[in-house]
Amino acid sequence: MKKFKFSVIIAAYNSDLWISKAINSIINQTLDFEDNIQIILINDGSIDNTAKICQEYKARYPKNIIFINNEENLGPSAARNLGLKQASGKYINFLDSDDYITKHSFRGVYNFFKQNDHIIDMVSIPIYFFGEKTGEHPLNFKYENEEIVDLIKNPEYIQLSAASCFFKRECLKDMKFNPYLTTSEDVVLINEILLDKPKIGFCNCGAYYYRKREEKSSLIDNSSIKKEYFTSRLTYYFKYLILKSIEKYEEVPLFIQYTLMYDLQWLFDISSVNNILTRDEIKKLHDELYHIIQYIEDNVICNQKNISNLLKAHILLFKYKEYKNNPRFKTKYDEITGIIIEKLKLNTIYIDVYEIVYNKLHILANFPTMFNAKVDIYVNNKKMKIHELDFPQRNKYSLSKKYGSNYSFEVEIPLSKDKTYEIKFVISNKNNTKLFIDFSRPCNFSKIVGYAKTKDFISTHEEDRIIVKKRTAREWFKKEVKTLYNMLKKREKGYKTGVPIRAMYLLAYPFMRNKRIWMFMDLPSIADDNAIQLFKYAQDKNPEITKYFILRKNSKNWDEVTKIGKVIPYKSIIHRFIALYAEKIITSHPDNNIIYPFWGNYPYFAGLLKSSTVFLQHGITKDNVSSWLNEYDKHLTMFLTASKHEYKSIFEYPYNYKREVVKLLGFPRFDKLEKKEDRKQILIMPTWRRYLKYKSNEIILNSQYFKRFNSLINNERLIEAAKEYGYEIVFKPHPNVYDYIDLFDRNENVKIDYKHEKYQEIFNHGSLLITDYSSVAFDFAYLNKPVLYYQYSRDYHFNINESYFNYETMGFGEICRSEDTLVNEIIEYMKNNCELKDIYKQRIEAYFLFSDKNNCMRVYDAIRRLPRKV
């Protein structure tokens, strides 16, 4: 057998979308592949085309590639162990089948080993993420210098991944991956080796690219929802390494503690396991973790960098829970509690909203606490009356156990320009313990800037207080120059964007300060919703207000919108600049990362913004979305609704918007809906399923969602009936489905909307709509057209039982659980020219308040009357 320098073992399960990229990254190394590198491919029971792809590469490189085909899925550990038996390289790597390695990596690692072969058994390279998430791995600090690290002296330099690591084959002779582990098997193997020789090489001449996706078919990214993630890891990972450490050192070395705690932090950060474990299993999990955490020193817990200080405090109190319940240790427990609060800085209040309108300062703040503490606010040493708010979505849970809550409140402080105000926050206790101040995003205040301004006032942050006083041009200029100087001096991430745009703002201020600017937008690439309709309406209104539509330059709607009014390219320099002076952001999508063109560097611009957000919606809100669309995160100035039921629901769930914010005025896009029915079209428009995101083609093909709708659009009985009654069947899937549209079986009798025709056009001309849970049903019903709900199972990502909208009693059409029933109903409607039944006419009339085509007028007038920040 030829002796290679490297053997790369790739265990693959349902990886047909990605494995070629992984293999090619090895073949294309600058260290010659055919002379130096062996690849061992193990198809681990895949049900897609993985095996076929592996065989093709084997045929192309028969001397370099070994192919092993497992008929059943044995799991990554067993598959890798099979590969190890075939490996002949001096050094071994375990590349994951959906990742890749940069082309200079093997040459760099080989040279590193050549120089240090007698000292180390393994060399590691940095990890970078690509796919759903991009950026660096949190442990990449290890590669700042190319060096050999003694883990006894530097215990925080832990190694977790075997895929980004290269091993001497001789150190793996008596080792194998534990087949009882489906994740974390890397960590156990690596640290067993390191317990014998606690030295490792860190080489920065290459890089490992790790694909982040919502679901990795059998591995880490979805393993937190499997029972084995909790049960087997406790025994075969955490407890096993503790046992091995004590056998070797009679204690657990710090580098093992850091290794265990790195993974334990993610475990403790899982909020609920109620759907995975039974009550008894949850109790056992807590008991096991209590035993394990006793081997982790307090400093190791506190030094974790990827969880909140509140969660660290919970873990520490969990570690010492026996003290709490034992009167003998009550004093000691109180002492530990005090240390935790001070060391972890659990004495900070976070301001979510800070704005001055009409000489009134409005503050919405929250205090994360584990001790049911309340907060008092003092202005010039006078206690202010506050209004407490309940945001249950902010409560903190760890493994189904509540450990923290956010005491949230708001206060209004009247301001006068001839006074100075000192604002302080204290814990409401006998000591009036002072609280430090920080700011949430998107609060228009940040520690990076240190001040916030309006036309009349300037507010300055000073650790545990805020000073508010009359703004003068001189003082503002001094503060801004100081801010720019500090940004340039510190050079923290984001300053390269913050400094030039703030400088532009400062220079342009005399010319721009009194301009009134409204920015309209739907999605960055699409102008086909409420915002574009209102933008059209607004063109000849209030000429003193400059109105811009925000859109990507490459959008197919760009030319059309430029004929309507002024358009600014999304995230262009001019967009970022204008956004600082905008009075209103009028949008159908209020996500902060969409509406703010500088969201990634938002804290660098906080304090200058004066815009308020008007949310026009992009569909009727029928589910409880308060975890997303709440006052503390979105802080909407106006929240538009179109139905009495929808309007009422906003106050039944914990959104916490005031009555004057939520408006029942109707959707602007409804004004353009016209009942034409000239095409005689049956529309099939299902919504998406989040659990299918980033799945392989094979998994999509085998999903119930795909099978049901693929079967429906090819149903012979439906197709023949449509021909008989003169109807065309149109399949317009959710935008996310277009990535998989070629998987659907096509036939000449069903039109698939490849041209992405505008929704309004489709609604106007359609005769009957078939959907499942999509809010498009509301637009269609608004036209007094019939709807059918194809709800074959409860596989929707929202819990419809928590929705105010009851499909049985409020729905605009029949609910069908089977394809046969659905086809029967469709045929019945076609027989009757798709006439809407009286019962559904009554429901539609009861649901919608307006049908007069004056929604744009009402909405525009309401926006015009909103208070202005200046």
Write the CATH number for 658.
3.40.50.11820
Write the CATH number for 770.
3.40.50.12580
What range defines the domain where residue 97 resides?
A: 6-222
Distance CA 604, CA 618 (A): 30
What's the confidence (pLDDT) of residue 224?
42
Structure tokens at 316: 């520490």
Does pLDDT of 181 surpass 80? yes
pLDDT band, residue 226 (cuts 50/70/90): confident
- For the ranges 224-228, 229-233, 401-405, 525-529, the lowest mean pLDDT is seen at 224-228
Q: pLDDT tens digit string along 247-276?
A: 999 999 999 999 999 999 999 999 999 988
User: Do 807 and 711 share a structural domain?
Assistant: yes
What's the confidence (pLDDT) of residue 432?
84
What's the confidence (pLDDT) of residue 694?
66
Pairing verdict, β 165-168 and 122-124? antiparallel
CA-CA-CA-CA torsion sign (594, 600, 603, 607): negative
What's the confidence (pLDDT) of residue 691?
74
Report CA-CA distances (Å) from 7 to 63, 85, 93, 178.
Answer: 13, 11, 6, 20
Residue type for 196, please?
Answer: D
Does pLDDT of 218 surpass 60? no
What's the confidence (pLDDT) of residue 255?
98
Structurally, the chain folds into a number of domains equal to 5
What's the confidence (pLDDT) of residue 799?
66
Select, from the ranges 16-20, 745-749, 820-824, the one with the highest average predicted confidence (pLDDT): 820-824
User: Do 214 and 101 share a structural domain?
Assistant: yes
User: Do 694 and 654 share a structural domain?
Assistant: no
651 inside domain: yes
User: Do 835 and 801 share a structural domain?
Assistant: yes
Contacts of 299 (CB under 8 A, 6+ apart): none
User: Do 705 and 659 share a structural domain?
Assistant: no
Report CA-CA distances (Å) from 815 to 508, 727, 780.
Answer: 58, 22, 16
Distance CA 753, CA 735 (A): 11
What's the confidence (pLDDT) of residue 618?
92
257 inside domain: yes
Report CA-CA distances (Å) from 208 to 107, 481, 799.
Answer: 14, 42, 39
Does pLDDT of 215 surpass 70? no
Write the CATH number for 450.
2.60.40
What's the confidence (pLDDT) of residue 591?
95
User: Do 594 and 462 share a structural domain?
Assistant: no
864 inside domain: no
Contact 680, 862 (CB under 8 A): no
454 inside domain: yes
Domain boundary among 222, 254, 270: 222
66 inside domain: yes
Structure tokens at 259: 């290794």
CA-CA-CA-CA torsion sign (244, 250, 255, 256): positive
User: Do 318 and 446 share a structural domain?
Assistant: no
Q: pLDDT tens digit string along 273-320?
A: 998 899 999 999 999 999 999 999 999 999 999 999 999 999 999 999
Q: pLDDT tens digit string along 526-564?
A: 999 999 999 999 999 999 999 999 999 999 999 999 999
Distance CA 189, CA 172 (A): 9
Does pLDDT of 727 surpass 60? yes
855 inside domain: no
181 inside domain: yes
User: Do 440 and 317 share a structural domain?
Assistant: no
- For the ranges 17-26, 40-49, 753-762, the lowest mean pLDDT is seen at 753-762
Give the max Cα distance, the chain.
89
814 inside domain: yes
Does pLDDT of 225 surpass 60? no
User: Do 395 and 339 share a structural domain?
Assistant: no
Distance CA 568, CA 633 (A): 26
User: Do 743 and 616 share a structural domain?
Assistant: no
Report CA Rg, the chain.
31
Tell me the β-bridge partners of 407: 367
Where do the DSSP E strands lie in 415-463? Answer: 421-427, 436-439, 451-453, 457-462
Structure tokens at 762: 């489709």
What's the confidence (pLDDT) of residue 323?
80
Domain boundary among 222, 253, 269: 222
User: Do 371 and 287 share a structural domain?
Assistant: no
Does pLDDT of 219 surpass 70? no
Q: pLDDT tens digit string along 777-790?
A: 999 999 999 999 99
Domain boundary among 312, 343, 374: 343
CA-CA-CA-CA torsion sign (227, 228, 234, 235): positive
User: Do 543 and 398 share a structural domain?
Assistant: no
Does pLDDT of 1 surpass 90? no
